[in-house]
Amino acid sequence: MKSRARWWWLVPVFCWAAFGQQFPQFVSEKIAAGYRFTEGAAWSKDGFLVFSDTPNNRLLKWVPGRQAEVLREHANGPSGNAFDAQGRLYTAETRARRVTRTDKSGAIEVLAERWEDKRLNAPAGIAVSKSGHVYFTDPAFGYQADQRELNFYGVYHIPPKGPMQLVARPKGRPHGVALSPNSRTLYVSNTDEHNIRAYDLDRNGEASNERVLISGIAGVPGGMSVDEKGNLWVAGKGMAIYSPQGQLLHTIEMQDPASSCALDESSGSPFLFVTARGFVYRMRPADP
């Protein structure tokens, strides 16, 4: 079953701007459309993009040169997605209130669904380190807030071995989550506080030294990605790029608010994928 998207044209160019400096323009290509709300963009090293159409309860797959197609129906309200070093897919399922892992054969394993014998709220963002440590956020939006069993919002860590750990209990709702290239820093966006917190991670993946790294983010910060240089790409009112120290480097204005993003840095000319409302965009540097 293919999506209703039939768009493969180039839409207006978005400019990068930062404090008067000039940066290359990026061409934005609409690669998928016709969905209710897209998020959870995740790029696989095997050369394809996975994203969620949360209200329609589906996971989608996009391969360059093709139209997006349904990867999984009845996907339990998928939100964030991530791949591990083995190419397995991790998904935060808001309706089932759990985190799952899907291997390449399609077998699904439940990794987390309870904390201290109470059901999770509605997992949203997820990230996986190269060594297999999983981090996810557990906010609650809309009707989910009325049905929750836990009296807090959480950020969790699932180590490769051993029980799940609670990283933080922020007052506002955590959403996006990302890791630095060396997996020694954890980043978590907060939709209510419009900020991003950072945590130091030790060799066991355990977190310490919580601090607000970025504050006053325009729009509602959602999904995040980190590039090879450690810069943090944040979906919000548009796209904002910050240094590892939290300095705003670039912004990309968009017609619709962005909900998530993913980077493909496998070639000399990197691509940025962005989900925004019912669309998915691929951005690339414009030809000189």
Query: Rounded CA gap, 48 and 63, in Å?
Result: 5
Look-up: residue for tokens 């323009």? 25
- Which percentage of the chain shows pLDDT scores above 70? 90
Beta bridge partners of 109: 101
Domains of the chain (ranges plus CATH)? Answer: 10-285 (2.120.10.30)
Query: Rounded CA gap, 138 and 154, in Å?
Result: 5
Q: Identify the pLDDT of residue 286.
A: 73
For 1-15, what is the mean pLDDT? 37
Tens digits of residue pLDDT in 53-107: 999 999 999 999 999 999 999 999 999 999 999 999 999 999 999 999 999 999 9
3-class DSSP assignment, residue 38: strand
Query: Shortest CA distance to 285 belongs to which of 248, 252, 236?
Result: 252
Q: Identify the pLDDT of residue 268.
A: 66
For 43-51, what is the mean pLDDT? 97
Query: Rounded CA gap, 197 and 190, in Å?
Result: 8
Measured CA angle at 280 (ends 75, 74), to 5 deg: 10
Q: By the 8 A CB rule, do 155 and 104 touch?
A: no
DSSP annotation of 86 reads T
CA dist list (Å): 107 to 101, 104, 138, 273: 8, 7, 24, 27
Beta bridge partners of 239: 235, 252
Q: By the 8 A CB rule, do 223 and 272 touch?
A: no
Query: Shortest CA distance to 31 belongs to which of 219, 284, 220, 252?
Result: 284
How much is the pTM? Answer: 0.91
- Which percentage of the chain shows pLDDT scores above 90? 82
Tens digits of residue pLDDT in 224-283: 999 999 999 999 999 999 999 999 998 999 999 999 999 998 876 689 999 999 999 999
Q: Identify the pLDDT of residue 87.
A: 97
Q: Identify the pLDDT of residue 71.
A: 97
Q: Identify the pLDDT of residue 147.
A: 87
| pLDDT, the chain, mean | 90
Q: Identify the pLDDT of residue 56.
A: 96
Tens digits of residue pLDDT in 101-134: 999 999 999 999 999 999 999 999 999 999 999 9
Query: Rounded CA gap, 107 and 104, in Å?
Result: 7
Greater model confidence, 22 or 44: 44
Query: Rounded CA gap, 170 and 152, in Å?
Result: 8
Q: What are phi and psi of 38, to 5 degrees?
A: -105, 145
3-class DSSP assignment, residue 143: helix
3-class DSSP assignment, residue 145: helix
